[in-house]
Structure 1
Amino acid sequence: MAVLRRLTQARRSPSERTALAGEAAAEAAEAALRAEPQPDAGTGGPAAEGAEDRPGKAPKAPAGNHTPEPDDPRAAAFFDCDNTILRGAAIFYLGVGLYRRGFLTRRDIARFAWQQAWFRLNGAEDPDHISDAQHTALGIVAGKSTADLEVLCEEVFEQVVADKIWPGTRALVQMHQDAGQRVWLVTAAPLEVARVIAGRLGMTGALGTVAEAEGGRYTGRLVGELLHGPAKAAAVRALARREHLDLDRCAAYSDSANDIPMLSLVGHPYVVNPDGALRRHARAQGWRVRDFRTGRKAARVGLPAAVAVGVLAGATAAAVALHRRRSCA
């Protein structure tokens, strides 16, 4: 990773930053897969506690051993996170967690609430919202300990994952695990967040946005760029090369037209809870569609403005109340 850190300091073209982000994500994912012991697979730590009781959790590996070789080592499944596995967007849940721990202001949390409402109601990502959340998060973590953020992510997503997972997508994850295939989460969310969510679902590992760190502290910069759109495809391609996967035998799942590059890489693309653009593309390509949402049209057409304003007002009111409680304490 040291070479990647040096490279990311240089001025790079968009395509070079995309490739760098993909390589960084794949390198981090492979390093975690090869690490010994593996916290989420066997020897304690928050991710291991109660693992046997979580649906979809893979059996624990013996302490001190590497992850067992899959029965079908040339095939794998790649799952997008936001609105594919998780209801809503992981980065916004992280924002709420940061606020509750004093890292964000009331204005920040109001903006995060509005963006989350927009995402839930429109069923699609807004690049400006994602960029805004990214820059806010990078500014917050600059100079902070990487270990501290890992602990914070565990705390934030302990409850979120249990409450926000689409049961239908969880079943798809389990289907690939039962087939003896590796299953990877692929998301623009920070790698630390991605690993927690993947661990809770018993996935093999995660490909996420890699934040640059030196001496155990974040610099406030990314390695390459956000793992979004073409960068996800670059990460999947890089991991497939490292793990000797046959992409024609692999599957990928996503809700967003931004992930068409990733979906187009594999032999078995699936569309889950799609936005309008991806639904149209899937229809044209003959891709299979799974929609686990209920009352989708009602949510998008019936009360969008009222719900959005309500979410924003509720978040702001909660922020004020929390601020007052802290002031009185």
Structure 2
Amino acid sequence: MSLAIFDLDNTLLADDSDYLWGQFLIEQGIVDSVSYERENQQFYDDYRAGTLDIQEFLAFMLRPLAEHSLEQLLAWRAQFIEDKIRPILLPKAMELLARHRTAGDTLLIITATNRFLTAPIAELLEVPDLLATEVEFTAGRYTGRPIGIPCFQHGKVERLSAWLAETGHNLDESWFYSDSHNDLPLLGQVSYPVAVDPDATLAEHAQEHGWPIISLRGA
């Protein structure tokens, strides 16, 4: 049984769920539109450039979770899934997941986006195992603070290593699908790295190393 690992944003989804959550908060009038949109865009640009300060980003992204009740957050999240996530599901991504599932592979999503947002998305994609950035939750509320190692860049390698030790899985005959050069540390660890609709840096690296480049977009 092989392990098939998938990045989420811009890989299995046709957009970035973290960024879209920020846009959703703006559209709903939950956050200040001018300042929040400016910061949301800047962090997204930094991510794509490979210069993101993950701790600063998490402080920004998780703050709204601490400012509202769990009941309200869950209601907003449900609407977010319907309005922003269902429209960016990719049929080819669902087919790819189904092929690995039929082959008997263990499916795992690994994402820098926090678990609050991604747990229902993984459920929608019918992937039971998820490694995501964890958020502190105490006394019935989110604190807005991350806990543990953020699931980002080399942190994905560390989080996956711990998961492998806990579950007994290994990277023999393993796959990892990603769109981003931020995932190069983990792509270099698996048996079969695959670049999916990659950014320019990852596309160049994949070509140099003979990695497959595929697209899950379009017909």
Instruction: Give the TM interval when normalised to the shorter protein.
Output: 0.7 to 0.9
Q: CA deviation at 1:270?
A: 1.0
1:111 to 38, 44, 47: 38
Q: CA deviation at 1:247?
A: 0.6
The 1:231–1:248 alpha-carbon spacing in structure 2 relative to 1, beyond 3 Å, is same
The separation in 2 between residues aligned to 1:222 and 1:237, in whole angstroms, is 19
Counterpart residue identity of residue 192, structure 2:
H
The 1:265–1:134 alpha-carbon spacing in structure 2 relative to 1, beyond 3 Å, is same
Q: CA deviation at 1:175?
A: 0.9
The separation in 2 between residues aligned to 1:264 and 1:144, in whole angstroms, is 40
Q: Which 5+ residue runs of structure 1 have no aligned equivalent? A: 1-71, 295-329
1:94 to 21, 24, 31: 21
- Would the aligned equivalents of 1:184 and 1:198 in 2 still touch at CA under 8 Å? no
- Would the aligned equivalents of 1:81 and 1:185 in 2 still touch at CA under 8 Å? yes
The separation in 2 between residues aligned to 1:236 and 1:228, in whole angstroms, is 11
Q: Larger Cα Rg: Structure 1 or Structure 2? A: 1
The 1:110–1:255 alpha-carbon spacing in structure 2 relative to 1, beyond 3 Å, is same
The separation in 1 between residues aligned to 2:202 and 2:92, in whole angstroms, is 19
Counterpart residue identity of residue 272, structure 1:
V
Task: State percent identity of aligned pairs.
Answer: 28
Deviation string, structure 1 residues 233-292 (Cα, Å, up to 9, x no partner): 112222122121121222110011110111122212111011121112212222111024
Secondary structure of the corresponding residue to residue 209 of structure 1? strand
Corresponding residue number in structure 1 for 2:186: 262
Give the structure-2-normalised TM-score.
0.86
User: Which is further off, 197-206 or 147-156?
Assistant: 147-156
1:236 to 143, 151, 160: 160
Counterpart residue identity of residue 21, structure 2:
L
Q: CA deviation at 1:80?
A: 0.6
1:218 to 142, 149, 158: 142
The separation in 1 between residues aligned to 2:70 and 2:131, in whole angstroms, is 17
Structure 1 consecutive aligned stretches of length 4 or more whose deviation exceeds 6 Å = none
Corresponding residue number in structure 2 for 1:82: 9
- Would the aligned equivalents of 2:92 and 2:217 in 1 still touch at CA under 8 Å? no
The separation in 2 between residues aligned to 1:212 and 1:240, in whole angstroms, is 23
Corresponding residue number in structure 1 for 2:215: 291
The separation in 2 between residues aligned to 1:267 and 1:148, in whole angstroms, is 43
User: Of Structure 1 and Structure 2, which has the larger fraction of its residues in strand?
Assistant: 2
- Would the aligned equivalents of 1:189 and 1:208 in 2 still touch at CA under 8 Å? yes
The separation in 2 between residues aligned to 1:267 and 1:184, in whole angstroms, is 15
Corresponding residue number in structure 2 for 1:159: 83
Secondary structure of the corresponding residue to residue 76 of structure 2? helix
Q: Which 5+ residue runs of structure 2 have no aligned equivalent? A: none
Corresponding residue number in structure 1 for 2:92: 168
Q: Tell me, yes or no, if structure 1 residue 182 matches structure 2 residue 109.
A: no
User: Which is further off, 91-100 or 254-263?
Assistant: 91-100
The separation in 1 between residues aligned to 2:152 and 2:129, in whole angstroms, is 18
